[in-house]
Amino acid sequence: MPTSAPDGVLTPALTRRVSAHKTAVAVVYVAAIFLSTMDTTIVNVALPTIGHAFHVPTASVDEISISYLVSLAVFVPASGWLGDRFGGKRILLTAVAVFTASSALCGVAGGLGQLVLFRILQGAGGGMLASVGMAMLLRAYRPEERVRVSAVLTMAIALAPTAGPVLGGLLVTDLSWRWVFYVNVPIGIFACLYGWLRLERDHDLRGEHFDAAGFVLSAGGLGTLMYGISSGPEHGWTSLPVLASLATGLVLLGAMATVELRTPEPVIDLRLAGDRLFSACSAAMTLESVGFLGALFILSLYYQEGRGLSALGSGLSTAPEALGVMAGSQLASRILYRKLGPRRHLITGVLASSTFMAMLAPAADAHSLWWMRGDLLLMGLGVGQVFVATQAAAFATIAPRSVGRASTMFNVGRRLGGALGVAVATTSLVAVGMPSRTFDAGGSLTAFKAAFLIAAAANLLALWPAVYVRDEQARSTVPAPRRARPHLAPRTRRETP
């Protein structure tokens, strides 16, 4: 996409064109990432109903969620290369179209086998759109503009996991389980049409051959590792299938690292890990995802199993967290990121989110749920700081040519962090012992309190990479202070003759 006139100066018409492209990238990506993120939670609400509809046991229904997560992990590695090779607009809209069409197919599935197959297809679209969309966003916006864009992305990422249970509960109760998939279709169609009309066509950045060996090893390694992590809490970490999946995944990823470091143009560029700022921010985002998504998973079980709320009530009681993240992201982008600098801002966010995540444990004993809701609001404020700071600063020192590969690595870490967070949370609950009675019936909430503390401890680990962020490296991402309005002389009364 052209960015300037021949003399290097943006004309008014070209300025409007660039601005329209920026807006289009943000709208399409936010809509797409909202759908793919919400899909991981909205479907969970419908799993029992789906099991009854297809007459299959609960253990088999878990394949619906696991197949989606595994498919996400498998297709993420190739997304950066595809976007660079065939153009971001083409691949992003293809990914959204695949996700939308497969959502409709999931809704009409006639059996568990068909549904799992369509979920794999859905994960393929979701895996591609995250990295390609982020790369397009990073190329469209200048470094100093990315903090504001990160705030918008953070709002979508925070709202989606909370909206899933609320919307899922309403749809399953009032309509049918099939509507948890149909709900994606109108939003996906809008994103495709809007993007097709408004996105500028970008040219491919690279013409090298596809790194087939790297893709096979990375996709196989990430897929089997994700399967092991997702299945471990259900089948037991010492069960043969889980151990085999984890071991195979680690071996394949080790082989992938060996191959990719020797490949001139790898599908996953591990050399980017040598960029200190990028690796620190990516690690902080991964660890924050472990604690944040683990805590959200525990909350849904706490509200429903520990306090006896419905799925809808659980989602509504979790909503203050999303409100906190949305408010925190605006506070971060407008004031704190610029005032504190990336390093202190990120450290402050990690400490705040970890503290209030740990406070969920004592709040769980309170008879009134408003203590928990208030704490969730404050936790969300802290999480918003981490999300904005990491996404704004991570790519400051990445060359434009490597943005696609960097966004792939960033999203791989975030996906694995989320899956690991749910696995750690589930394992913690099982290890301590889930209560068999609700709060009002005198049941013990020890398991939930222990799980909240473990999630907070995992979240606090993000402090380690955060201290390695250097403000001078991310200086280009800090917006300049807004110029004060010129002082206007006070108007005097008009003299009358």
Residue 495 falls inside a structural domain? no
User: Is residue 67 located within the same domain as residue 120?
Assistant: yes
Higher pLDDT, 482 or 429: 429
495: pLDDT strictly greater than 50: no
Q: Are residues 47 and 193 in the same domain?
A: yes
Specify if 2 maps to a domain. Answer: no
Does 167 score more than 60 pLDDT?
Answer: yes
- Element containing residue 25 per DSSP (H, E): helix 12-54
Mean pLDDT of 374-385: 92
- The boundaries of the domain holding residue 333 are 271-479
From 266, 284, 310, the end of a domain falls on 266
Domain boundary among 237, 266, 295: 266
Does any domain span residue 1?
no
Q: What is the pLDDT of residue 98?
A: 92
Most confident of 38-42, 43-47, 352-356: 352-356
What single-letter DSSP state applies at residue 239? S
pLDDT, tens digit, 9 for 90 and up, residues 310-352: 777 777 888 888 888 888 888 888 888 888 888 999 999 999 9
Could you give the CA distance from residue 244 to residue 35 in angstroms, rounded to a whole number? Answer: 32
Q: Which pLDDT value is given to residue 493?
A: 41
Residues 388 and 334 occupy one common structural domain: yes
pLDDT for residue 204? 52
Q: Is residue 343 part of a domain?
A: yes
Predicted confidence band at 357 (pLDDT cuts at 50, 70, 90)? Answer: very high
Measured over the CA atoms of residue 289, residue 295, residue 298 and residue 300, the dihedral's sign is negative
pLDDT for 280: 92
More confident residue, 462 or 399: 462
Residue 290 has which token pair?
């472990």
Q: Are residues 398 and 302 in the same domain?
A: yes
> Mean pLDDT across the chain, nearest whole number?
81
Q: What is the largest CA-CA distance in the chain?
A: 100
In a domain, 139, yes or no: yes
Backbone angles phi, psi at 256, to 5 degrees: -60, -45
Main-chain dihedrals φ then ψ at residue 394, nearest 5 degrees: -55, -35
Same domain, 250 and 375: no
Query: CA 16 → CA 12, 135, 330, distances in Å?
Result: 6, 21, 25
Same domain? 55 vs 158: yes
Query: What is the reported pLDDT for 208?
Result: 62
- Asked if residue 237 and residue 201 are part of one domain, the reply reads no
Which of these ranges, 228-232, 300-304, 480-484, has the smallest mean pLDDT? Answer: 480-484
- Residues 258 and 432: their CA atoms lie apart, in Å, by 40
Of the two residues 51 and 10, the one the predictor is more confident about is 51
For residue 422, give the nearest of 299, 251, 315, 284 by alpha carbon: 299
pLDDT confidence bin for 84, thresholds 50/70/90: confident
Instruction: Note whether residue 331 is domain-resident.
Output: yes
> What confidence category does residue 376 fall into, taking pLDDT thresholds of 50, 70 and 90?
very high
Contacts of 349 (CB under 8 A, 6+ apart): 332, 382, 383, 384, 385, 386, 389
Distances, alpha carbon 215 to alpha carbons 84, 104, 161, in Å: 15, 29, 29
Q: Which of 421, 465, 330, 347 is nearest to 384 (CA)?
A: 330
pTM passes above 0.85: no
**Count of domains observed in the chain:** 3
Spatial CB neighbours of 496, under 8 Å, sequence gap ≥ 6: none
Per-residue model confidence (pLDDT) at position 6: 47
In sequence order, what are the residues at sequence separation of 6 or more whose Cβ sits closer than 8 angstroms to the Cβ of residue 24?
A: 194, 195, 198, 199, 200
Is residue 387 domain-resident?
yes
Answer yes or no: is pLDDT of 91 > 80.
yes
Highest mean pLDDT pick, 135-144, 201-210, 291-300: 291-300
| pLDDT value, residue 466 | 92
- CATH number of the domain enclosing 81: 1.20.1250.20
Q: Does residue 134 sit in the same domain as residue 190? A: yes
Cα–Cα distances (Å) from 474 to 75, 438, 470, in that order, read 30, 49, 7
Give the residue among 91, 189, 192 at the shortest CA–CA distance from 134.
Answer: 91
> What is the Cα–Cα distance from 346 to 288, expressed in whole angstroms?
11
Contact 380, 359 (CB under 8 A): no
Q: Which of 256-270, 320-334, 371-385, 476-490 has the lowest mean pLDDT?
A: 476-490
Which residues are within 8 A (CB) of 157 and not within 5 positions of it... i.e. 6 or more apart?
33, 34, 37, 325, 387
The pLDDT of residue 19 is above 90: no
Question: Of 308, 289, 26, whose CA–CA distance to 161 is shortest?
Answer: 289
pLDDT in tens, 107-146: 888 888 888 899 989 988 888 887 788 888 778 788 887 7
Q: Does 179 lie in the same domain as 34?
A: yes
- Please tell me whether residues 340 and 446 are part of one structural domain: yes
> Are 183 and 282 contained in the same domain?
no
Residue 306 DSSP code: I
pLDDT at 490: 44
Looking at beta carbons, which pairs linking 363-369 to residues 24 or more positions away fall under 8 Å?
A: 364/302, 364/306, 364/445, 364/448, 364/449, 364/452, 365/445, 365/449, 369/307, 369/317
Which 3 state secondary structure label does DSSP give 10? coil
Last residue of a domain, one of 186, 210, 234: 210
**Looking at residue 100, what is its pLDDT?**
93
Residue 485 banded pLDDT, cuts 50, 70, 90: very low
Write down the pLDDT at residue 438.
Answer: 55
Domain contains 62 = yes
Give CA separation, 360 vs 31, 321, 357, 454, 481, in Å. Answer: 31, 12, 5, 11, 37
Same-domain check for residues 256 and 302 = no
Which tens digits make up the pLDDT trace of 260-279?
888 877 878 888 888 899 99
- What distance in Å separates the CA atoms of residue 140 and residue 127, rounded to the nearest whole number? 21
pLDDT of residue 206: 57
Q: Which two tokens stand for residue 263?
A: 């490949």
> Which whole number is the average pLDDT over 358-370?
88
